[in-house]
Structures are given as C-alpha cells and as structure tokens.
Amino acid sequence: MRFLLLVPVLVVPVVAVVLLLLVASRSTYDARIRLARRLEGRRGLLRLLGAAVGGVAAAYLVAEDTLGLGLLLAAPVATLGLLLGVLAAELVVRPPGGARRSASLTARSATDYVPRRLTAAVVTTGVTLLVLASVTTALGSPDDLGRPGRWLTRACSAVETASRGPWPGSYYTGPLLVLVGTGVLLALLVLRTTVARPPLLVPGDPSGAADVPAEAVAADHELRAQAARAVVAGVGVLLALPLAGTAVLAGSAVGGTVGCAPGWWAVVAAGLLVVAALAGAVLVWCMAALLLGSRQPPLGQSSALR
C-alpha cells in the first residue's frame, strides 16, 4: 500500500525533470535565450539537484508516513530542496575579476523580477493557510490515544461527545507551520540573493569589461526573473498543497458524521472544499510556472528594461 503512495511522489519529480529538459531543448527561438543559457552554464544543474534532493526527501517522508503527517509535509520538504538548489545556483556567481569592469547605475529590487499576479495568488494562499491552520489548531482535541490535535470533538450534551478525525489540529499544523515558515524565510533569502548577486559574465570574457552588450544585460535580467519565478512558484507549491490538504481534512471532518452537529456545519464543509479546489488551481498554476516559465515572458520585454 505504501508503495502505491510512493508512485505519485516519485513520478512527479521525474516528469518535471523530463518536461524541463524538453522545454530547454525547444527554447532556442531567440538569440537572447541562447545567450542566457550560455551565461547560465551549469547553474541549472544545481537547481535540478536541489529539486531532486527535495523529491527524494519527500518520498522518504511519504514512505515513513504515520497517520498522514508525512503526506502533509512532503510538499514543503520538496520545495525546501528546490529553494536550496536555486540559492546554490545564485551563490556560485562570482564578481568580475578583470581590470576593466562595469555595472548599471540603476537600483535593482525584487519587484523588478517577481511575477506580480502569481505572487498575489501565492500571498493570498499563504494568508488563507495561516488563518485556516490557526482556526483548526484552536478547535483540535486529543484522539483516543491522547495525541493532541488529531480529532474534532463536539459536546452534544453534558455526558455525550461526538468525535471525528483526522482533524488538522496541532498534531499536523505544528510541524507544517514550522516547515512552511522556514520555507518562506528561505524564499525571501533566495530572492534577496538573486537581486544582489553580480551580473553573469559572457563566457570567455572573465573581465566583465565595460562594453557589455545590451543582449547580455537583457539575458542576465531574464535569468534573475527565471530564478524569482521559480522561487515564487516553489513557495506557491509549498503553501497550496498543504492548504488543499488541510481544507480537505477539515471539510471532511466537519461534513462527516459528528453526531449532533448543527446544519450550518455542512455549509462550512462545502466552503472548505471550495477552498481546497482553489488551492488546487493555484497549485496547477505554480507547477505550470515552474515547468514552462522559462519560455515566457520574452526576454528583454519586462518593465525594468523598457
């Protein structure tokens, strides 16, 4: 049974890597993209390595799953691997070392590179997860073995109670919020590193000479934008999958047979399933941005370059 759970976790990273390679091999329609790939060198491998390490760690969590906790934490762990890969790729960029060097006189900021609509969706997802997890944590109660925050219990009368689980209480949300918080902080660090790193140099010209071609400047901008897009999309996966899981768990518990539940609980359950569906949509959007983002927007057409 556990092997069956492993299948999607192992298949998704493999499919992602294959799709990335396919996209990379097809994106040769623009000379600046080719230049960006030359500038990037082997940094892409570091990102793939990070994603692979995250995928393996997530698969291990699922394989060692106890009471669904590993399944819930798999996506955040996979994203942490991806973010560490992006961070490593940004940290290996060295400053120019020749006698003649040049730099732009315009300040860079993260807002020049992050995709705005996707970022807004990811922030909304994060706020929703925080609110929902806080509420479910507050409402959780111990299960039959005394593990805190695993069941939803309602007192039907002075002597009778009805319980339903699993419930996304502190048993699940505690480690989840720690991992999500770590991931968000790591993502901010990666974004800061992406903005602050020195520009990539044209291969064969280690000096970073004063006469930098405009195409190289545009290609460097695009590579920063790609890294920022990967970070935002990665955080989207980090938040959307746990949000979907939390909403489904809470929705099925609230909508389930808690003996004396009032009628409006069914409305809450339906609302939670809608939240889960929306989180799923954000998840698909983020996966698409991760896998297809390198082909759009076209190089040199971002607002910072106009």
Give residues in contact with another protein (CB under 8 A).
Answer: 95-97, 99-108, 195-199, 208, 210-215, 304-305
CB of 104 to another protein, least distance (A): 6
Q: CB under 8 Å to 266, separation ≥6 — which residues?
A: 255
Closer by beta carbon to another protein, 96 or else 169:
96
CB of 102 to another protein, least distance (A): 4
CB of 296 to another protein, least distance (A): 22
Q: How far is Cα 66 from Cα 275, in angstroms, rounded to an integer?
A: 25
Closer by beta carbon to another protein, 98 or else 181:
98
Largest Cα–Cα distance in the chain? 83
The token pair that represents 75 in the structure block: 């996506």
Tell whether omega for the bond before 199 is within 30 degrees of 0, i.e. cis: no
Q: Which of 236, 224, 198 is nearest to 82 (CA)?
A: 236
Cβ–Cβ contacts within 10 Å for residue 263, how many?
6
Closer by beta carbon to another protein, 80 or else 202:
202
Closer by beta carbon to another protein, 27 or else 102:
102
Annotate 41-65 with b (16+ C-beta within 10 A) or e (fewer): eebbebbbebbbbbbbbbbebbeeb
Q: Which long-range contacts (CB under 8 A, 24 or more apart) does 202-205 make?
A: 202/35, 202/38, 202/39, 203/38, 203/39, 203/41
DSSP-derived secondary structure letter, 111: G
Closer by beta carbon to another protein, 136 or else 194:
194
The helix/strand/coil state of 160 is coil
Closer by beta carbon to another protein, 57 or else 217:
217
CB of 209 to another protein, least distance (A): 8
CB of 302 to another protein, least distance (A): 11
Closer by beta carbon to another protein, 95 or else 297:
95
